[in-house]
Every structure is written in structure tokens, then in C-alpha cells.
Structure 1
Amino acid sequence: MTDSTVFAAGGVVWRLVDGKLRVLLVSRASYRDLTLPKGKVEANETLMETAVREIREETGIRVSLGIPVGVSHYRLPNGREKIVHYWAAEATDAAIQTSTFTPNKEIAAVEWLSLKKARARLSYPVDREILESFAARVDEGVLRTFPLVALRHAKAKARTEWEGTEGERPLTTRGRRQANALVAPLLAFGVRRIWSSPAERCVRTVTPLSAALGRRIERTELISQEAWEIGASDAKTVVRARVAARKPVVLCSHGPVLPDIMTELAYTTGTMPGAYLGSPSNLDTAAFSVAHLSVDDPGSGIIAIETHDPRF
């Protein structure tokens, strides 16, 4: 990877029409091609934000990201490398009804096609590879998913610099910036519920998200560090309830508690715990891991996990 690398993001946008799967391709006016919706990352933007923004700009459809379905690498005519990250993204009936798409100088048309027709009509092999990855997930029956996000609180004032109680330890200036920067990436995954340790540093981390959603923060000592330190935490109860609810949710907690949350998530979903949980559990402040679970059968295992570092 070099400074000349171009990063981009997009999605395989899908919907069911009379029970039949259709995916959305865009026809670009200037290139006269048929491709997946995608675009370049803008300054101070995460890949997730880019994917959601570009899909909306090119198709008029608001989506939330589902499972990751691949990364394409290729050379541009000028010799620069381009890396594009893709997620599956359902176009709900409501999103279709409120679509703002009209043909324009960039996108001449959008087309809903079957997987077979989409394979045949896509203009580029790299797009077909992404579509094949998506099709494999369809064959596995894991298309409809919801995210459970494990989030470590943003940067807080050091214990040695704080004279108050541990639960009242506040965020630093950097931590407040991190909290604000978390809103758009978490919204990209469709998070709608917020559960948090009652510690000030956790609550303040998700306060901007709460304001953006217009939803309250559900506080529970069961995932607090103070409870963990005395052996009174209970990640199992929290995780099981959230998995059973099958709603997109973020759990904001502490470094020592996160491994328990991820381990209980594995057990709750019928997934064998293992080394793969190491990185998703060992998060820096304001980093988060997204576990994608089946809406139809959340006990069928963790479908995918992705981990994202803080912007600041």
C-alpha cells in the first residue's frame, strides 16, 4: 500500500421481489458500463460511511450495511492501485419508496437483476468476483442479518490524573472527538439500540449517537468494569437478551469486559470460541467490532466479524 493508493467502498444492494432475489447495478453514463455502486473515500470519512453515502448518491436509496462481501484490487489507467471494500446492503420497501434517484450525468440508469443476469451483464471481472462472494452467502442462507456491536469507550482521563470516583472518570478532549466521530460509522451499520456500562466514560461515548438516534441509553452494571473487578459482571445475560431481540445494537463497555462479551456472543450463537475472537476483543479506545448474526436463526453462529479502529 502506498500514498498513491485509491480507497473506495460500495455495496451489493439487494431486495426480494415476489420472493425472488434481485441485485442493483448502475449504468454509468460516461463509461457506458454496468457496475456495482461504489465511490472513493472522501477526506475524514470511514469506509463504512463511504459505502452508505455512495450507494445513496448513485441509486437514491438509503441503506444500512450488512455482512462484508469482499475487497477488490485493481490498477487504474494512471497506474495507481484502487482498493474497494464491499458490503451486502438490503434495500427495504421503505427505502425503495423514498428513493430519490433520477437519471443524471453520472448515473444514466439503475437496474434490478437476478444473480444470473447480473453475472452476465456486469462489465468487469472484479465486480463479478464480489457478486460471487455475495452469491455464496445467499446459498448459505445468511443474507438477512443484524449487527451486534461491541464498543470500547473513548479515551478517558488517566486514573492517575483523576481524583474522583472511577465511575465518574470523564473523557478527554480527544475522547469527546472520538465519541462524535463514532456516530456516522455506527449509523452506517444501522445501529438502533444502545446499551452501556453506567460509567461516565462509556455513557459519554454513546451520548452523541443517542442524540442522533433520538433514543435513550440503556445502562447496566452487568457490563461495567467495577462489577467485573469484583466478579459481579454478567455479560451472558446482556448478550443473550440482545441476541434474542434480533435488533441492531451497540454495547459500550470496557477493555477487560470485552473478551467476556465476545466469548458469550460465541456461546449464545452456537459458535465455537477461538483465537479469531482475539482481535475483536482487544480493542483500543473508541474502536469497535461488528458481529453479524442471522435474523432468521441467530443461534446458527456468528456469520462475520469486522473490527474498526478509531478515527482519532
Structure 2
Amino acid sequence: MSGGPTGPVLAAGAVVWREQDGQPLVLLIHREHHNDVSFPKGKVDPGESVPTTAVREIEEETGYRVHLGAPLGTAEYVLPNGRDKVVHYWSARVSKKEFERAGAFAPNDEVASVEWVTIDDAHGRLTYDRDVEILTRFADRAAAGEHRTFALIALRHAKTVPGSDWDGPDATRPLLPVGRSQAKAVVSPVAAFGPKKIVSSTAARCLATVEPLSARTKVGVQATPDISQDAHDRGAANVKGVVRRRLDKEKSTVLCSHGPVLPDIIARIAGATADGSRHFDLRRAAMLSVGDFAVMHIADGRLVAVETHRNPVAS
């Protein structure tokens, strides 16, 4: 959420792009009241996650419904009132189907007009140097063929009744009330990355964690013991097989599992996609707290970026 009177103002947006004749075009917006040309973005509402803000603002300002690709970092600057502002950016692709659905742009209170331009043209059109820096990061990704990505999203189940307070089998432990709140709170930020598949441990706590996400996205849940804690403790888990199948499918997928299993999931993904030429914070991604998630962005079999997100509901 936005910082207090002395904290930074948080905002989020994206380099929105689509393909034409095999080349990426990027979307620029013109705001008359600022007399500038920039990327779609906006301030984080109270209680809202940064990824949720990005997709909401893009639709409000441009009419396009997008899912987030790989992160492009932040732009930081000082507002006229002296407060710092931090804008988080991702790439976000507009598919041909979505481009046709949205139709012609209708001016709104924020944006007077939009324009699809080449990356080279965008460099000369953007008003602010900070936006040019973000565009350059996207251009570098595009030049390397790493702008079209899919995501494997590792989600740790929400807060659960402790084993010491549960008489039944470990796999049947339910979520606590705070855990149910965490499961609801994680829906929008995870949905911002457009999962097409949800794979869950067979444990009740994992299935309950992804239930609200499944209902919101209308994506069914595939339950498997291969990433369950019971199988892990017996040495019978098949994390490698699950990860390999998801990588082969190249579809954004949620993998909901347990604290002891997640390091193996992260390591298997990285082992199959990272070539050692870039550093990623895999330790943080592997050591998620309950209800948190990590997003691993992959392009053409290569790991492009890793990001982690805290659950807004404290455990």
C-alpha cells in the first residue's frame, strides 16, 4: 500500500507490448493534464498488492486486460511535494485476441490517447529519462528473445492448525482462520501473473489455500502427492517430474506446496533453466513464509527473473 506521510508513494505499471510482423510494439500513453508521454501506471490503493495495481491501472488507463510478465525493476523519483515515489514495472503482453477484444481506445479522465510504436520510436517519444531506462531494459530482453515468458509460481500453503493441536493425520490439518484470510488475500496478486494451471499437494492445507484462487481464475486444481510433505518425508516425492512437465508445457502454473518441499521445487526449476551467467535470489524464493509466493519467469527454457511476494495478511 502507499506509504505514510513520510514514506514513499508506491505505484505500479508495465511496458505493455504486442507483436506485429514478428516485432514487438510498445504502448505509450499521452496524459494531457501532465503534458507527457509515458507508460501506463498508477498508485497502489490501500490494502492492494503491487502486481494487482499494475494490471488494474493498465486496464483503467488503456482498456487492455493483461497479465504480468517478467519484472523490469523500478523507477524512483521525488514528487513536487518532496515525497519519494517508487514505481514498479513489469512487461505485459497484449495478445492478438485481447487486442481485438479491446477495440478502439476511448479517452478517459487519465489518458487522452494511446499509441503503438516501435521500441526505437518509443525511445524518442518518452518524456522522462526514467521511463527510457525502463524501456531499455525491455529492449534488452526483446533483443535476447526473453520478452515472451511464462511463469512457474511457487506458493506456500497458508497458516495451518499446528500439528501439536491436531489428532488426525498430518495431511488433513485445516487452515486456521488467519490462513483462510491469507488464501483469499493471495488471489489477486497471483492472478495478476495469469496462471493457466494450478497444481497442488494433496494435503488439505494446500488444497484449501488454492481454492479461492481456483474459483477466481476458473482454473481447476490438479492434486498430486508428488509435491506433498508426506511423500517428501518418505523420500517418495517426484518434484523433478512435476517441474519437468510444467516446463515442457510452457504454461504459467501455480505449484502449491510445503515449506520442506519448496526448496527442492525452486532448485529443480533453477537447475533446469539457469545457466549460471546471472545471479538470482533463489534462497529468498525457497524460504517462503506461509501464504507467500515466488514467481520464476522463463523464456525459451532460460530463467529470466525471480521475484517474491509477501502475503498481505500477517501470520
1:86 and 1:27 map into 2 onto residues whose CA distance is 18
Q: Is the 8 A contact 1:194 1:251 kept in 2?
A: yes
Question: Counterpart of 1:282 in structure 2: which amino acid?
Answer: M
Give the superposition deviation at 1:162: 1.2
Partner of 2:185: 181
1:19 and 1:237 map into 2 onto residues whose CA distance is 33
Confirm whether residue 195 of structure 1 aligns to residue 195 of structure 2: no
Cα distance per residue 1:67-90 (max 9 Å; x no partner): 001201000001000000000000
Partner of 2:99: 96
Partner of 2:286: 281
Confirm whether residue 38 of structure 1 aligns to residue 46 of structure 2: no
Q: What's the TM-score, normalizing by structure 2? A: 0.94
Q: Is the 8 A contact 1:195 1:252 kept in 2?
A: yes
Q: 1:251 aligns with which of 252, 255, 259?
A: 255
Aligned-residue sequence identity (percent) comes to: 46
Q: What's the TM-score, normalizing by structure 1? A: 0.95
1:274 and 1:17 map into 2 onto residues whose CA distance is 32
Q: What secondary structure does 2:69 align onto?
A: coil
2:23 and 2:311 map into 1 onto residues whose CA distance is 39
Partner of 2:18: 15
Q: Number of paired residues?
A: 308
1:275 and 1:290 map into 2 onto residues whose CA distance is 12
2:200 and 2:25 map into 1 onto residues whose CA distance is 38
Q: What secondary structure does 2:236 align onto?
A: coil
2:126 and 2:279 map into 1 onto residues whose CA distance is 38
1:113 and 1:275 map into 2 onto residues whose CA distance is 32
Cα distance per residue 1:194-224 (max 9 Å; x no partner): 0010000000000011112223211111110
Q: 1:271/1:155 Cα in 2 relative to 1: closer, same or farther (>3 Å)?
A: farther
Give the superposition deviation at 1:4: 3.2
Runs of at least 4 residues of structure 1 off by over 6 A? none
Partner of 1:308: 309
Cα distance per residue 1:259-297 (max 9 Å; x no partner): 111111122225459883211000000111100011xx2
Question: Counterpart of 1:152 in structure 2: which amino acid?
Answer: R
- Unmatched tracts of structure 1, length 5 or more: none
Cα distance per residue 1:17-36 (max 9 Å; x no partner): 12232100100021111011
1:274 and 1:33 map into 2 onto residues whose CA distance is 36
Give the superposition deviation at 1:253: 0.3
Q: Is the 8 A contact 2:280 2:305 kept in 1?
A: no
- Unmatched tracts of structure 2, length 5 or more: none
Single out whichever of 226-235 and 83-92 deviates more from structure 2.
226-235
Q: 1:275/1:293 Cα in 2 relative to 1: closer, same or farther (>3 Å)?
A: closer
Q: Is the 8 A contact 1:30 1:105 kept in 2?
A: no
